[in-house]
Amino acid sequence: MADQQNRKSKTSRKASLDSVRPKKPPRDDEYAQQPPPPTPPSLPVSEYPTARALHAYTAESADELDFKKDDVLDIISDLSKGWWYARRHRGNKLGYVPSNYVLLNNAEVTQQPGWMEITRSEADKLLLQPGLPEGLFVLRPCSVGCYSISLRVKHPTKPNFYSVQHYRMSITSAGLFCISPEATFHSVGELLAHYAQTADGMACKLMKPFPQPPPPPPADLSQLEVNRDCFVMLEVIGHGSFSEVHQAKWNNSIFVAVKTLKPNMEAEQNFIQEARLLLKAHHPHVLQIMGVCTDREPLYIVTELMTNGSLLNYLRKDKGVLLNIEHLLLMKMQLVEAMSHLESLRIVHRDLRAANVLVGEDARVKLADFGLARELDDAGVYTGQGEKFPAKWTPSEAVTKGRFTAKSDVWSFGVVMWEIVTYGGVPYQGLQNREAVELVSKGYRMPNPHGGHIRCDPSLYQIMLDCWSASPEKRPTFAKLKDQLKAYAAEKHRASRRRV
């Protein structure tokens, strides 16, 4: 049975590869009518172009060469073909290799400005960021062939409509580089210099390589304006009183999240405020805003798509339940980094909950939902009366007086820590909002949830209690919380080493 499944898996993998890869060399049983593989030229090994394996490959016939990721190969045959005849350094074996599985080790290419060893979709995401100029480009490996140029292009008639065009570079049988057979060059540098002077068939000239490190975020919302025709709306992945969040495809290339606003004049002002604060709070652990559409209703806020959804749901599902204490601690540390950043900008979030923290593919967390976020005045206070807010995450001074500070967010962070260690537990379970608020005002605090599969030692629980101090002045700052969690993580690491 296992052998049948293995054969079926190999057949399925072969079919998926055959649909995208170039034509193969002849199989063993075809050699009666075909010439044998080329005899390697009698050149010193150092004179062959070398390549590095981007992926592992398992040979499917005697004429092919199997290799592991990062194996070094000498390319012996014509580089213009889909399959190359190569010598693998490890074991000194010969055979055919698929050209789209390897990358030529051309130092001249990898040292060019704009070179990045990234995929097509990653180049799309980089170059579709708002506020970037037309003609910005990335030089990268190509999945089929040699290299590729990814170029940011402005639509000739539609305002604020940018796309990314990809131009595959090939190597001729004479060893020349080209985008089009009509224009060939002795080096990649010559090719780039040519297309920097003239578009010559491209959508525009190469104006500037993508900067290293990445460019700073746009300075204001006007630079974030994008054309709504760029987006194809897909499923609804979230909703609120006046808004819906859709998964969408941007320029038919990358998936993003688009928050749309239902018609409402007051909500429109808050929607613009949310976009502005999200832009101001730019940080690796804050959801990245990628664009806005404010030319007509409905208004859009475009952000990166966090594929694992909210932290609350993630913790309650299979992937989250399997997280160990180190993973949970890392999430807290990432979140406190974001909150410390907001604290430095004098922004109060006011809706800090596990439900408003999002999780990416690599379990990386980011702070989201800035709908209630506000800037603090010179005294470090924001006063808001008659507004809805999450009562079980809000301290007494904010519930009774509408007085919000960075220290009210610290209280909320203590509740989020409790949510994380309990794998998405419900704070004050069994109590209505009013009952929870009354108990807290009388000094009640949630007990340490340690027990069973929940691990929360006294020192971690004490950090929560510090966050829940009745006096805002006695609560730690986020900067101090960041140091405390780092110290706690270091101590846990030392303790684990001592046990080993």
Q: Measuring CA to CA, which residue among 359, 473, 457 is closest to residue 411? A: 473
pLDDT at 325 over 60: yes
DSSP letters along 405-465, please?
A: -HHHHHHHHHHHHHHHHTTSPPTTTT--HHHHHHHHHTT--PPP--BTTB---HHHHHHHH
Of residues 264 and 349, the one with the higher pLDDT is: 349
Rounded-to-integer distance, Cα 119 and Cα 103, Å? 13
Domain spanning 309-497, CATH architecture = Orthogonal Bundle (1.10)
Q: Is 450 helix (H, G, I), strand (E, B) or coil?
A: coil
Q: Encoding tokens for residue 226?
A: 């994008």
CA angle, 269 then 271 then 273, to 5°: 70
For position 265, what pLDDT does the model report? Answer: 74
Correct CATH for 221-304 of 3.20.20.450, 3.30.200.20, 3.90.1150.10, 1.10.3720.10: 3.30.200.20
Residue pair 179/188 in contact by the 8 Å Cβ criterion: no
50-105 fold: SH3 type barrels. (2.30.30)
For position 500, what pLDDT does the model report? Answer: 52
Task: Look up residue 438 and give its amino acid.
Answer: E
Q: Encoding tokens for residue 282?
A: 């730019």
pLDDT at 27 over 50: no
Residue pair 191/198 in contact by the 8 Å Cβ criterion: no
- Average pLDDT of 243-272? 91
Specify the range with the lowest mean pLDDT, choosing from 77-81, 239-243, 336-340, 399-403: 77-81
Residue 174: exposure state from Cβ atoms within 10 A (0-12, 13-18, ≥19): exposed
For position 80, what pLDDT does the model report? Answer: 62
For position 77, what pLDDT does the model report? Answer: 78
Rounded-to-integer distance, Cα 187 and Cα 169, Å? 11
- Average pLDDT of 260-284? 90
Q: Encoding tokens for residue 87?
A: 């010598």
Q: Where are the domains of the chain?
A: 50-105, 108-209, 221-304, 309-497
**Residue pLDDT, tens place only, 472-485:** 999 999 999 999 99
Q: Measuring CA to CA, which residue among 98, 55, 100, 92 is closest to residue 74? A: 92
For position 113, what pLDDT does the model report? Answer: 84
Residue pair 300/243 in contact by the 8 Å Cβ criterion: no
302: Cβ contacts below 8 Å, ≥ 6 apart: 226, 231, 248, 250, 256, 257, 258, 259, 289, 290, 291, 292, 293
For position 464, what pLDDT does the model report? Answer: 98
pLDDT at 30 over 90: no
- Which residue of the set 71, 124, 351, 369 is catalytic? 351
CA atoms in the 13 A half-sphere facing the CB of 58: 6
Element (H, E) at 272: helix 265-280
Q: Sheet harboring 93-98: ordered strands across?
A: 93-98, 83-88, 72-75, 50-53, 102-104
pLDDT at 259 over 70: yes
**Residue pLDDT, tens place only, 192-235:** 999 999 999 999 999 999 987 777 778 888 889 999 999 999 99
Please give the mean pLDDT across all residues of the chain: 86
Structure letter (DSSP) for residue 286 = B
- Average pLDDT of 28-43? 41
For position 414, what pLDDT does the model report? Answer: 98
pLDDT at 160 over 70: yes
Tell me if residue 29 is catalytic: no
Displacement of CA 129 from its chain's centroid (Å): 13
CATH H-level superfamily of 108-209: SH2 domain (3.30.505.10)
When pLDDT is cut at 50, 70 and 90, the band that residue 55 belongs to is confident
Most confidently predicted of 14-18, 322-326, 366-370: 366-370
Task: Look up residue 131 and give its amino acid.
Answer: G
When pLDDT is cut at 50, 70 and 90, the band that residue 437 belongs to is very high
Is 259 one of the annotated binding-site residues? yes
- Using a pLDDT cut of 70, give the percent of the chain over it: 87
CA angle, 230 then 283 then 456, to 5°: 120
Q: Encoding tokens for residue 496?
A: 């684990």
For position 241, what pLDDT does the model report? Answer: 77
For position 176, what pLDDT does the model report? Answer: 81
Rounded-to-integer distance, Cα 250 and Cα 257, Å? 10
Q: Is 339 helix (H, G, I), strand (E, B) or coil?
A: helix
pLDDT at 36 over 50: no
pLDDT at 29 over 50: no
- Average pLDDT of 64-82? 83
